[in-house]
Structure 1
Amino acid sequence: MIEIKNLSKEFETADGKVEALKNVNLTISDGDIYGIIGMSGAGKSTLVRCMNMLERPTEGTVLIDGCDMGSLSMAELRKVRREITMIFQGFNLLMQRTCLKNICFPLELAGVDKADAKKRALKLLEIVGLPDKANAYPAQLSGGQQQRIAIARALATEPKVLLCDEATSALDPKTTHSILELIRDINARLGITVIIITHQMSVVEEICSHVAILDDGHVVEEGLVSTVFSSPKSEAAKRLVFPDGADEIMTETPGERRIRVVFSGALAAKTPLIAQMAMEEQVVASILGASTRSIGDKAYGNMLLGITGGDEMVQRAMTYLSNIEDVLVEEVTDHVG
Structure 2
Amino acid sequence: MIELQHLTKRFATQGGTVVALNDINLTIRDGDVYGIIGMSGAGKSTLVRCINMLERPDEGNVIVNGKQMQDLRAADLRAARREITMIFQQFNLLMQRTCLRNIMFPMELAKAPGDKAEARARELLELVGLPDKADAYPAQLSGGQKQRIAIARALATDPKVLLCDEATSALDPNTTHAILQLIQKINRELGITVVIITHQMSVVEEVCNRVAILDNGTVVEEGEVQAIFSHPTSKAARRLVYPAGAPQAEVLPGHKLVRVAFGGTQTTDKPLVASLAIECGALVSIMAADTRIVNGQTLGSMLLALPDDDKAAAALEYIRNYPGITFEEVNG
Instruction: Tell me how far 1:241 sits from its aligned partner.
Output: 1.2
5+ residue gaps in structure 2? none
Give the structure 1 partner of residue 166 of structure 2: 166
Alignment of 1:55-66 (within 5 A): 55-66=55-66
Establish whether residue 197 from structure 1 lines up as the match of residue 204 from structure 2. no
1:4/1:278 Cα in 2 relative to 1: closer, same or farther (>3 Å)? same
**CA distance in structure 2 between the partners assigned to 1:251 and 1:234 by the alignment:** 25
Structure 2 vs 1, CA of residues 102 and 318 (structure 1 numbering), >3 Å: closer, same or farther?
farther
2:315 maps to 1:313: yes
Q: Which whole-Å CA distance do the structure 1 matches of 2:91 and 2:97 have between them?
A: 14
Determine helix, strand or coil for the equivalent of 2:148: helix
Report the TM-score, using the length of structure 2 for normalisation. 0.88
Equivalent positions of 1:99-138 (< 5 A) are 99-138=99-138
CA distance in 2, matches of 1:42, 1:121: 36
Cα shift at 1:139: 0.9
Unaligned runs of 5+ in 1: 323-328
**TM, length-normalised to structure 1:** 0.87
Kept in 2: contact 1:36–1:212 (CA 8 A): yes
Change (3 A) 1:130 1:287: farther
1:11-50 correspondence to structure 2 within 5 Å: 11-50=11-50
* CA distance in 2 between partners of 1:32 and 1:192 (Å): 8
Structure 2 counterpart of 1:21, which letter?
L
AA in 2 matched with 1:249: Q
1:231 aligns with 2:231: yes
What is the identity percentage for the equivalent residue pairs of Structure 1 and Structure 2?
Answer: 56
1:325 equivalent in structure 2? none
* Counterpart position of 1:331: 326
Q: Deviations over 1:270-305 (max 9, x none)?
A: xx956655665555251423254899xx78763423
Q: Distance between the aligned counterparts of 1:294 and 1:204, measured in 2?
A: 9
Counterpart position of 2:242? 242
SS of 1:255 mapped into structure 2: strand
Distance 1:315 1:189 in 2: 45
Query: 1:273-284 alignment to 2 at 5 Å?
Result: 276-277=274-275, 280-281=278-279, 284=284
Give the direction of change, closer, same or farther, for the CA distance of 1:192–1:304 in structure 2 (3 Å limit): same
Q: Per the alignment, do residues 24 and 126 of structure 1 end up closer, same or farther by CA in structure 2, a change over 3 Å counting?
A: same
> 1:12–1:119: structure 2 CA closer, same or farther, 3 Å change rule?
same
Q: CA deviation at 1:331?
A: 1.4
* 1:41 CA drift (Å): 0.3
For the residue of structure 1 that corresponds to 2:182, the secondary structure is helix
User: How far apart, CA to CA, are the structure 2 residues paired with 1:141 and 1:10?
Assistant: 39
SS at match of 1:77: helix
User: 1:67-112, CA deviations, whole angstroms, 9 ceiling, x for partnerless residues?
Assistant: 1000011211111011000001111111111000000000000110
The answer on whether the counterparts of 2:287 and 2:305 sit within 8 Å (CA) in structure 1 is no
Q: Which is higher, the Rg of structure 1 or of structure 2?
A: 2
- C-alpha distance 82-2 of structure 1, shift in aligned 2 (>3 A): same
CA change 1:73–1:306 in 2 (3 A) is: same
The correspondence of residues 143-222 of structure 1 with structure 2, limited to 5 A, is 143-222=143-222
* Contact 2:226/2:294 (<8 A) preserved: no
Q: 1:244–1:111: structure 2 CA closer, same or farther, 3 Å change rule?
A: same
Between the aligned partners of 2:27 and 2:327, the Cα distance in structure 1 is: 28
| C-alpha distance in 2 between matches for 1:262 and 1:27 | 23
Instruction: Tell me which residue corresponds to 2:81.
Output: 81
User: What SS does structure 2 have at the residue aligned with 1:31?
Assistant: coil
The one-letter code of the counterpart of 2:176 is T
Residue by residue, what CA displacement relative to the aligned partner does 1:105-134 show, whole Å, maximum 9, x if unpaired?
A: 000001101100000000000000111000
Q: How many residues align?
A: 323
For the residues of structure 2 that align with 1:123 and 1:101, how far apart are their CA atoms? 13
Give the superposition deviation at 1:64. Answer: 1.1
SS at match of 2:56: coil
Instruction: Return the alpha-carbon distance in structure 2 between the equivalents of residues 234 and 210 of structure 1.
Output: 16
CA 1:96/1:5 → structure 2, altered by over 3 Å: closer, same or farther?
same
Mark the CA change 1:184 to 1:266 in structure 2 (over 3 Å): closer, same or farther.
Answer: farther
Q: Which moved more, 1:181-190 or 1:284-293?
A: 284-293
Residue 66 of structure 1 deviates from its aligned partner by 2.0
Distance in 1, matches of 2:61 and 2:13, equals: 24
